[in-house]
């Protein structure tokens, strides 16, 4: 079996954020990886459209109940989001 190498696209993220590989941002204390994500407050808000482009953090597709369509990250990476810092 051939292993596929995935290339992270940090720009596949909500406006004002960039994507980071979960494997590189894992908390040292072993706590829930979502706690390291700066998008978490918006993610927990029921009004946030998690199916909008760039809002997917998981490496596998999901089928939305609202329209039956499949949604996934184009780069196929498992990520969390960090807030962009203005200079």
Instruction: Give the mean model confidence (pLDDT) for residues 59-87.
Output: 91
Q: Tell me which residue has tokens 């596949």.
A: 12
Domain contains 77: yes
Overall domain count for the chain: 1
Q: What percent of the chain is modeled with pLDDT above 70?
A: 94
- What pLDDT is attached to residue 31? 87
Residue 46 belongs to some domain of the structure? yes
Residue 7: C-alpha distances to residues 20, 41, 83 (Å): 11, 27, 20
Which residue range is the domain that position 59 belongs to? 17-83
Is the model's pTM score more than 0.85?
Answer: no
Which pLDDT score is estimated for 87? 65
In a domain, 65, yes or no: yes
| 4 inside domain | no
- Residue 58 lies inside a defined structural domain of this protein: yes
Please check whether residue 12 lies inside any domain of the structure: no
Q: Tell me: the pLDDT tens digits for 16-50?
A: 999 999 988 888 888 889 999 999 999 899 898 88
Q: How far apart are CA 87 and CA 10, in angstroms?
A: 18
8 in any annotated domain: no
DSSP code for 41: H
């Amino acid at each position: 079996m051939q292993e596929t190498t995935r290339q992270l696209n940090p720009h596949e993220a909500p406006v004002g954020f960039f994507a980071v590989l979960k494997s590189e941002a894992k908390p040292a204390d072993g706590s829930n990886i979502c706690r390291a994500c700066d998008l978490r407050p918006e993610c927990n808000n029921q009004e946030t459209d998690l199916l909008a482009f760039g809002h997917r953090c998981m490496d596998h597709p999901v089928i939305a109940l609202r329209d039956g369509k499949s949604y996934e990250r184009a780069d196929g990476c498992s990520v969390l989001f960090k807030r962009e810092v203005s200079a």
